Structure 1
Amino acid sequence: MTLSLSSQHYDIIIVGGGVNGTGIAADAASRGLKVLLCEQNDLASATSSKSSKLIHGGLRYLEHYEFSLVRKALSEREVLLKKAPHIIHPLKFIMPHQAHLRPAWIIRLGLFLYDNLAKRTTLSASSGVRFDQLSPLKPDITKGFTYADCWVDDSRLTILNAVAAKQDGATVLNYCKCTHVCQQQDKWQLTLTPVTGKSFTVTANALVNAAGPWVSSLFSSIDNYQAPQQIRLVKGSHIVVPKIHAGDDAYILQNPDGRIVFVLPYEQKYSLIGTTDVDYFGAPNDASISQQEIDYLIAISNRYFKHQISENDIVSTYAGVRPLLNDESVDAQKVTRDYTLEQNWQHPTLPLISAFGGKITTYRKLAEAVVDALQPRFPGMGACATKHQPLPGGDFVSRADLLKQLQIKYSFVQLSVLKRYVSTYGTCSYLFLADCNKLEDLGQDFGHGLYQREVDYLSQHEWATSADDILWRRTKLGLTLTPTQKNVLDSYMSGNNKIAKVAEMVGSL
């Protein structure tokens, strides 16, 4: 890899492999630019795999008068639902009403705005609801409201943007850190250091800093530049427990401290409960859920649901650090989720653009704005086309139809596995199922429907290098595989990596 990439020149280099970085790479590559993206860890390994996994306008942001952000996010909700029907789907939310927390008229007004701030063609309108004895909520909770938003597999959204960029000619490097940046006459020179291997240099006409929680600290690696602003790190933590209510609806719970917590259906058998929104001052990689946050999430769930949970029920936890604009809000939950772009043209033809803040729902708009800002440097590039381009695997009419097609052609594969293929890969499922005629053709079974064909596909086409890459970011099978099964997968991946390195060395000779 390093031998073939050393001294290569690109139109644009993007530092950061989260959803913003890969979104920018996909947009730029689709317009004909020569793109390189580097990420110090795995793609989507930080904020972009540790969100609440929602494509939403942000109902609670209306309380902070962020009407422009909500309108923009609601518009993008419809766009993304059409772009990625395999990894994004509508989700009905139920909000139990607690009159002492928020009056009904305020909630009705907020939901009216939510329904009408942007054009809504797919999702249903909000309404009131009454709960009976069959409700999973406690008996004293008798009424509430419903509205619609969307669920997203956040890490796959990130990775599929990287795949889209690659399909348009971009070079994507994960586990490859940008360690130094300097100006070399009329171009940027970057030193990149892979986790395994020697450092090498590449050059570019434009540099984009999409490093998320590291967006400000990256400037310490750039000669003669200072960070134009600082970010505020806000930690959002979640717990995963066995499913606490029947059905596929989500719940949005109001807490006396003014915060809200989601209880979301997760991977068929689980409930995902979060988030917490607390200021964070440590290294982004070290973020983890605190005991206080665990107690907080358990308490609010138990305040509303008949089914009571305890810490012993927790199957998994995660904590993500959101890099938000430091708008001097007193409370972490009130910090704006909007983004801003800082453009620096110290050299008249050498742009540096840094993305500060943002939320997963508006990643595509952020990416479009970044690449549009580079128009003066690349006057011949095309117009943005990402609004109407499906993400890889998203070129189908409905999940049900695609599942039927897969069932007919691959009847030997368990229905539950085919359903996972549809919601993970969409039509890209055919890429690793192509010549399979019996179950044995899928190769080694690592457990819970994870077969060698899928593992090899993820290694060869989606940059997976370890069991964690596969089990937590490209799938969520880390919830179900046993420690022994994970070790077997890790051993297999280690062998794959050795074979890949030998092939790489041979290919470089």
Structure 2
Amino acid sequence: MNICDLLIIGGGINGTAIARDASGRGLSVVLCEKDDLARHTSSASTKLIHGGLRYLEYYEFRLVREALIEREVLLRAAPHIIWPLRFVLPYDEGQRPAWMLRLGLFLYDNLGGRELLPGTKTVDLRKAPHNSVLEKRLKTGFEYSDCWVEDARLVVLNAVDAQNRGADIRVGTEVIAIEAHPAGYEATLSDGSTIITRGVVNAAGPWVDEVLFKIKKDKNEAGLRLIKGSHIVTKRLFPGDHAYMFQNADNRIIFAIPYERDFTLIGTTDVPWDAAPGPMEISPEEIDYLCAAASEYFVHDITADDVVWSYAGVRPLYDDKSENASAVTRDYVLDIDELSAERPLLSIYGGKITTSRKLAEHALEKLEKYYGEAGDDWTADAQLPGGDFPADDFKGFLKTQSDRYPDVPNDVLLHLCRAYGTRITLVLGSGPDVDLGRYFGSHLFEAEARYLRAHEWARTAEDVLYRRTKLGLHLSEAERDAFTEWFKEM
């Protein structure tokens, strides 16, 4: 029987961030994820570390300020998987007026103490590279900064750091039942083991109420509202490293973002979801919506035939009773329930990838009176695994690795440096002689797959192809099948 200070249920961004923070404070932590890390909501995002420009319309100033500050905290912590991205927001007559856009972007530039990222500027859309891409009615736009993130990798890196600091990360392990125990709680796991824990963090995302019912056996007072968000991927629609933010006639916005070198990512939708959570697929109506919205801005119309891949997820938001799904708060609520004076149960509602580190700090604040021995806040200045190089010098880091591994092809090395940062030595060895092993297509070699199984809890080919990496997009069906068969036998 295992005994720990804190049992965390859920291996998404919130659960792994809390596991990392708590472990770094000296608490003994067990994290259980019934599927794969980032299997559901956390790998179905728009892949942005951003303040949430549109949330200013809903007066979410605290959330936007916190998110803007966290942008640069996370950029410094993981510059291999997070990097600056410039967004172009066209002014379109009949949508939000230009003065509103300027005011919103002024606030956006100044609310969060921006240091690393450049500010907003006005751009002429009648000039290259925009004039050949966007509709001719669009003449002026505003260019501002946010950041790109490899979302599933951020989740995994939080779990890796938590494990490095002593946490027990159990992937593919469901918490079947939880009962009161004199020392706190007794949890029965799907692997047949039992854990005694002083407290529980319920970070199960869309399943937070389901987990809560296992413990409380009665109705939860806090509210969970499920919103489905879907994205489509097309062949690359425009040149350049910038992204676009488009306003829709329904007052929503969508993004068009360069994706995986050869593609464009378009999303997201906001659809109320009343069914049971689980693996999601985009609907034909959502595909049509995203194609039509993007076609309003791009010279060349986009149809369902242009979609090469799609993904969808359910966001577990706190129910603030908003009638408009797009207006439901993206802020988080930490609901602590004391079933006894010494038996904390903390449930997480809402949240977003950008504020996950801060959410974890706030969670530990909520639990402070139960864990007086825990250390102080520490994550604000700490780097995530692989991120220990200057945030503004990825090129310098890449050059150092090129000198270390002269025989590794440049495109393969770039992929590995972006994915693993300084942990690349765990994939390739200390250099310079490297055995990449079997080649499966695109940039995928045996050495990387073996690393992912040994160090990042990859248990299936899908874990590798579509979460730890996105290399599945670049492989043919035959190549994906061949890799799947090899991985099963590894």
Give the structure-1-normalised TM-score: 0.93
- Taking the TM superposition and a 5 Å limit, the aligned residue runs for 1:5-404 are 7-134=1-128, 135=130, 136-194=133-191, 199-224=192-217, 226-397=219-390, 398-404=393-399
- Partner of 1:446, secondary structure, is strand
The superposition leaves residues 456-505 of structure 1 with CA deviations (integer Å, 9 ceiling, x where unpaired) of 11001100010000011100011012222222222232223xxxxxxxxx
| Greater displacement, 9-18 / 280-289 | 280-289
Partner AA of 1:491 in structure 2: E
Deviation of 1:438 (Å)? 4.6
- Partner of 1:112, secondary structure, is helix
- Partner of 1:285, secondary structure, is coil
Which residue is equivalent to 1:419? 414
Return the alpha-carbon distance in structure 1 between the equivalents of residues 173 and 137 of structure 2. Answer: 54
In the alignment, structure 2 segments of 5+ residues that lack a partner are none
The superposition leaves residues 233-274 of structure 1 with CA deviations (integer Å, 9 ceiling, x where unpaired) of 001110000110000101000001000000011111110000
Which residue is equivalent to 1:457? 451
Which residue is equivalent to 1:506? none
Distance 1:386 1:343, change over 3 A: same
Question: Contact 1:133 / 1:139 at 8 angstroms: preserved in 2?
Answer: no
Question: Contact 1:187 / 1:350 at 8 angstroms: preserved in 2?
Answer: yes
Return the alpha-carbon distance in structure 2 between the equivalents of residues 152 and 224 of structure 1. Answer: 38
- Partner of 1:347, secondary structure, is coil
Q: Which runs of 4+ in 1 moved over 3 A?
A: 223-226, 435-439
Which residue is equivalent to 1:446? 440
Question: Contact 1:436 / 1:442 at 8 angstroms: preserved in 2?
Answer: no
Number of equivalent positions: 485
Return the alpha-carbon distance in structure 2 between the equivalents of residues 333 and 493 of structure 1. Answer: 40
Return the alpha-carbon distance in structure 2 between the equivalents of residues 252 and 128 of structure 1. Answer: 14
Match of 1:473 among 450, 454, 467: 467
RMSD between aligned residues: 1.3
The superposition leaves residues 82-129 of structure 1 with CA deviations (integer Å, 9 ceiling, x where unpaired) of 011001111100011012111111111111111111201011111221
| Greater displacement, 455-464 / 184-193 | 184-193
Deviation of 1:435 (Å)? 4.8
| Greater displacement, 185-194 / 200-209 | 185-194
Partner AA of 2:451 in structure 1: Y
Give the structure-2-normalised TM-score: 0.97
- Partner of 1:38, secondary structure, is strand
Match of 1:410 among 385, 405, 409: 405
Return the alpha-carbon distance in structure 2 between the equivalents of residues 206 and 133 of structure 1. Answer: 59
Deviation of 1:388 (Å)? 0.7
| Greater displacement, 379-388 / 22-31 | 379-388
Which residue is equivalent to 2:476? 482
Return the alpha-carbon distance in structure 2 between the equivalents of residues 406 and 368 of structure 1. Answer: 34
Question: Contact 1:86 / 1:394 at 8 angstroms: preserved in 2?
Answer: yes
Deviation of 1:227 (Å)? 2.2
Deviation of 1:204 (Å)? 0.6
Among the aligned pairs, what percent are the same residue? 46
Return the alpha-carbon distance in structure 1 between the equivalents of residues 301 and 410 of structure 2. Answer: 32
In the alignment, structure 1 segments of 5+ residues that lack a partner are 1-6, 497-509
